[in-house]
A and B are shown apart, each in its own frame.
Chain A
Amino acid sequence: MRIFDKARLRLRSLFRRPKVEFELEAELRFHLDQLIEENIATGMPPEEARRAALRIRVALGAARFHVLAQIMKQGLAVTALGILIGLAGALAVNRLIASLLFGVQPTDATTIAWAVTTNLAVAMIACWMPAWRAARLNPNVVLREE
Chain B
Amino acid sequence: MAKPTDLIQGTLDLLILKTISLEPKHGWAIAKRIQQVSQDALQIQQGSLYPALHRLEQQAWIKAEWRPTESGRMAKFYSLTDSGRKQLEKELANWVRLSTAINLVVQEA
Which residues from chain B contact A146 at a C-beta distance below 8 Å? Answer: 45-47
A130 CB, min distance to chain B CBs, angstroms: 22
Q: Are B45 and A27 in contact (CB under 8 A)?
A: no
Q: Say yes or no for B27: interface residue by CB 8 A criterion.
A: yes
Interface of B, helix, strand, loop or mixed by DSSP: helix
Give A contacts to B, CB under 8 Å: 23-24, 26-28, 30-31, 34-35, 56, 139-146
In the docked arrangement, what's the CA distance between A27 and B46, Å? 11
Q: Say yes or no for B95: interface residue by CB 8 A criterion.
A: no
A55 CB, min distance to chain B CBs, angstroms: 13
Q: Are A31 and B51 in contact (CB under 8 A)?
A: no
Q: Say yes or no for B76: interface residue by CB 8 A criterion.
A: yes
B36 CB, min distance to chain A CBs, angstroms: 12
Q: Are B54 and A23 in contact (CB under 8 A)?
A: no
With A31-B46, A146-B46 as known contacts, state yes or no: A140 contacts B76, CB within 8 Å.
no
A–B pairs, 29, beta carbons within 8 Å? A23-B66, A26-B76, A27-B26, A27-B27, A27-B50, A27-B75, A28-B50, A30-B27, A30-B73, A31-B27, A31-B28, A31-B46, A31-B50, A35-B28, A56-B46, A139-B51, A140-B51, A140-B54, A140-B55, A141-B51, A143-B45, A143-B46, A143-B49, A143-B50, A144-B47, A144-B51, A145-B47, A146-B45, A146-B46
Which residues from chain A contact B74 at a C-beta distance below 8 Å? Answer: 26, 30
Which residues from chain A contact B49 at a C-beta distance below 8 Å? Answer: 143
In the docked arrangement, what's the CA distance between A141 and B74, Å? 23
How many of chain B's residues have a CB under 8 angstroms from any CB in A?
16
In the docked arrangement, what's the CA distance between A35 and B27, Å? 12
In the docked arrangement, what's the CA distance between A66 and B57, Å? 27
Which residues from chain A contact B28 at a C-beta distance below 8 Å? Answer: 30-31, 34-35
B64 CB, min distance to chain A CBs, angstroms: 8
Which residues from chain A contact B27 at a C-beta distance below 8 Å? Answer: 27, 30-31
Nearest neighbor of A140 in chain B, beta-carbon distance: B51
Which residues from chain B contact A141 at a C-beta distance below 8 Å? Answer: 51
In the docked arrangement, what's the CA distance between A31 and B51, Å? 14
B7 CB, min distance to chain A CBs, angstroms: 16
- Contacts of B39-93 to chain A: CB distance below 8 A: 45-47, 49-51, 54-55, 66, 73-76
Ranked nearest first, the 9 interchain pairs of A and B with the lowest CB-CB distance are A34-B28, A144-B47, A143-B46, A139-B54, A143-B47, A146-B47, A27-B76, A30-B75, A31-B28
